[in-house]
Amino acid sequence: SLPVVALVGRPNVGKSTLFNRLTRSRAALVADRPGLTRDRHYGRGRTGEIPYIVIDTGGFEPVAKQGIEVEMARQARQAVLEADVVLFIVDGRQGLTAHDREIAVELRRNARRIILAVNKAEGMQREAVAAEFHELGLGDPLAISAAHGDGVRELAELALAPY
């Protein structure tokens, strides 16, 4: 079966934009409004000769609240459990947040493999971006721009390297 890559991160960091790039589609809903992607969303990507499944997720809330948010969190957790590798997406412009730290804790418990990607890094100093997110303890973050495509290919190659 194909390797499964899940895109996880708090709302509005650019998961769906990355999903569209990886799958070369406009299928995922991209919006300025956080939390628009309501559930898991599957697509197919290919890097070099390696095909894979991508799951876009929305609403990853480590501390579940009510109603729709609980369901969204459940879906995101399920995606993490299904994934061979989780791409943990954070926002280089907003910087590290408490919510990022909570997600990191949850991922460390449940994900098989985690790659940290700092999105929206176009025009930013890679070293500065990497330094800020190092404290998550997830290794060297990869600076990317899902909107511009910078670093996306490297990210996919890194994620699929074992396959």
Q: Is 110 annotated as ligand-binding?
A: no
Q: Is 35 annotated as ligand-binding?
A: no
Three-state DSSP class for 143? Answer: strand
Count CB-CB contacts under 10 A for residue 87.
28
Least distance to ligand GDP, CB of residue 112, Å: 22
Residues 58, 64, 82: CA angle, nearest 5 degrees: 50
Helices 98-110 and 68-82: angle between axes, nearest 10 degrees: 50
Report the C-alpha dihedral over residues 162, 124, 24, 43, rounded to 10 degrees.
50
Least distance to ligand GDP, CB of residue 155, Å: 12
Asked whether position 16 contacts ligand GDP by CB under 6 A, the answer is yes
Q: Is 12 annotated as ligand-binding?
A: yes
Asked whether position 15 contacts ligand GDP by CB under 6 A, the answer is yes
Least distance to ligand GDP, CB of residue 41, Å: 9
Asked whether position 37 contacts Mg ion by CB under 5 A, the answer is yes
Q: Which residue ranges make up the site for Mg ion (CB under 5 A)?
A: 15-16, 37
